[in-house]
Amino acid sequence: MRDLWRSTVASLSQLPMAAHELASMLPASGVVCFRGEMGAGKTTFIRALCEALGVSDTVTSPTFSIINEYRTANAASVYHFDFYRLKSISEAQSIGCEDYLYDPHALCLLEWPDRIEAMLPDDRVEVTIELEGQTRHFTAVAIP
Look at residue 42 and give its three-state secondary structure: helix
Answer whether 106's CB lies under 8 Å from 29's CB: yes
Question: Can you give the pLDDT of all 144 residues of the chain as single tens digits?
Answer: 999 999 999 999 999 999 999 999 999 999 999 999 999 999 999 999 999 999 999 999 998 899 999 999 889 999 999 999 999 999 999 999 999 999 999 999 999 999 999 999 999 999 999 999 999 999 999 999
- HEC string for 59-104: CCCCCCCCEEEEEECCCCEEEEEECCCCCCHHHHHHCCHHHHHCCC
Q: Is the pTM of this model over 0.85?
A: yes
pLDDT at residue 64 in the model: 85
Q: Are 80 and 50 in contact (CB under 8 A)?
A: yes
Using one digit for the tens of pLDDT, what is the confidence trace for 51-85? 999 999 999 999 889 999 999 988 999 999 999 99
pLDDT of residue 63: 86
Three-state secondary structure call for residue 12: helix
With residue 117 as reference, give the H or E element that holds it.
Answer: none
CB atoms within 10 A of CB 57: 13
Cα dihedral 18/34/125/67 (nearest 10): -110
Cβ-contact 58, 51 below 8 angstroms:
no
